[in-house]
Amino acid sequence: MNTHKILIAGPCAAESREQLFATAKELIDLQIDYHSFEFSFFRAGIWKARTNPNDFQGVGSEAFSWLQEIKKQFGFKICVEVANAEHARQCLENDIDAVWIGARTTVNPFLVQAIAETVQHSALTVLVKNPINPDLNLWIGAIQRFQNAGIKKVLAVHRGFSIENENVYRNSPCWEISMALRLKMPEIKILCDISHIAGNVVLQQMVAQTAINYGFNGLMIEVHHAPDKALSDSKQQLLPSQFSDLLQTLIFPSSNSSAADALFFQRNLIKSIDIQISKLLSKRMELVDEIAVIKRKHALPLLQPDQWKRVVEVYEDNALKDNNYTHFLEEFLFLLHKNSLRRQENI
Ligand code: PEP
Ligand code: MN
């Protein structure tokens, strides 16, 4: 089942020898057959690109010796992030198998070029994460710099995009961008970093299943032996047991093409859309309740026709242009408004 899939798992950051060993040992104890994957890596960031200068910045080169021990003792191939040519040079010297280019580095062609020149013609696997902003050409350009440098194994990692008004995911998936990459560079395998898209534990199963449904070649997942004590990204790192549960719940398409298989992708996409609609509707109702409290406090009327008109316009602007949908939308908006008012009356 996994022979054509790629798996990258491990903590956001290397924090200490003990933390790396505890996580790697638990990953081994899960009895996952890592050899059944096309390839698998143990990940750990050693230099962390953090927004806030007061946050944990990674332990730096000290982690190389710990990672070498992990490699020897558990047989994992090792993958770390590089953000400049000096990082890349140290990875080559320290027996690292794969490096990933982080989203904040992919945006900078000078840095990407310097890293590509440092690792040129080496046997390193290079994973290029999408740039922070949804710019397909910037992503493609970074991938090409490694191809031009003679790197044989260049892969892409979809980790979501930083966009305005995203309130479900930490980084908006914008799946269409990875699908466009697939069309433009069919030879490049694409992994999905579900941890940085979801930003929490709850959404990861859905993100992973959606990625599989879209035909991604594998997953990158942050796993920590004690996420609540993690020095970075503690909300999104899975316990090893959660990681194992997640892998077991994923549904992979089977190779014999019955009618059910033909519908597999569409059905699963609809399921993931339904989960999102359901979560968003619940969130919307909560906001309606908050607004009711504000209206009451300021003695404002419950019904504000101009505001409702603006809501209707948002739905109309994004609507399918056919009669059936127009009819459905009228009924749906009627129900939505009626229920929002009823909730507000009750507050
Ligand atoms: C990471 O993988 O820990 C990381 C920092 O990723 P990104 O560059 O996607 O933010
Ligand atoms: Mn992280």
The answer to whether the beta carbons of residues 44 and 24 sit under 8 Å apart is no
The CA distance from 43 to 11, in Å, is 6
Identify any residues that bridge with 287 across adjacent strands, giving them in sequence order: none
Q: What is the pLDDT of residue 220?
A: 98
CA of 315 to the centre of ligand 1 (A): 34
Question: In ligand 1, which atom is closest to the CA atom of 195?
Answer: 2
Tens digits of residue pLDDT in 173-202: 999 899 999 999 999 999 999 999 999 999
**Cβ(129) – ligand 1 distance below 6 Å:** yes
**Cβ(196) – ligand 1 distance below 6 Å:** yes
Q: Return the best residue to mutate from 52, 112, 193, 223 for the ligand 1 pocket (most ligand atoms within 8 A of CB).
A: 193
Does residue 267 have a pLDDT over 80? no
Average pLDDT over residues 18-42: 94
**Cβ(159) – ligand 1 distance below 6 Å:** yes
DSSP 44-65: -BSS---SSTTS----GGGHHH
Count other Cβ atoms within 10 Å, centred on residue 86: 14
Question: In ligand 1, which atom is closest to the CA atom of 49?
Answer: 5
CA of 102 to the centre of ligand 1 (A): 5
Tens digits of residue pLDDT in 141-181: 999 999 999 999 999 999 999 998 888 999 999 998 999 99
Ligand 1 atom 8 nearest Cα? 102
Tokens of 79: 């993958």
Measured from the alpha carbon of residue 81, the closest ligand is: 1
Q: What is the pLDDT of residue 318?
A: 87
Q: What is the pLDDT of residue 227?
A: 98
Among 1-5, 24-28, 280-284, the minimum mean pLDDT is found in 1-5
Q: What angle is formed at CA 80 by the lines to CA 59 and CA 250, rounded to 5 degrees? A: 120
Q: Return the best residue to mutate from 100, 111, 232 for the ligand 1 pocket (most ligand atoms within 8 A of CB).
A: 100
Residue where the block lists tokens 């198998």? 97
Q: What is the pLDDT of residue 257?
A: 64
Question: In ligand 1, which atom is closest to the CA atom of 103?
Answer: 8
Does residue 1 have a pLDDT over 60? no
The CA distance from 176 to 183, in Å, is 10
**Cβ(102) – ligand 1 distance below 6 Å:** yes
**Cβ(45) – ligand 1 distance below 6 Å:** yes
Ligand 1 atom 10 nearest Cα? 103
Q: What is the pLDDT of residue 278?
A: 87
pTM above 0.75, yes or no: yes
Average of per-residue pLDDT values in the chain = 93
CA of 150 to the centre of ligand 2 (A): 29
Does residue 2 have a pLDDT over 50? yes
Ligand 1 atom 2 nearest Cα? 12
Inter-CA distances, 192 with 8, 28, 126, 197, 344, Å: 10, 22, 15, 9, 41
Measured from the alpha carbon of residue 170, the closest ligand is: 1
Q: What is the pLDDT of residue 251?
A: 84
Does residue 230 have a pLDDT over 90? yes
- The residues near 200 (Cβ < 8 Å, ≥ 6 apart) are 170, 235, 236
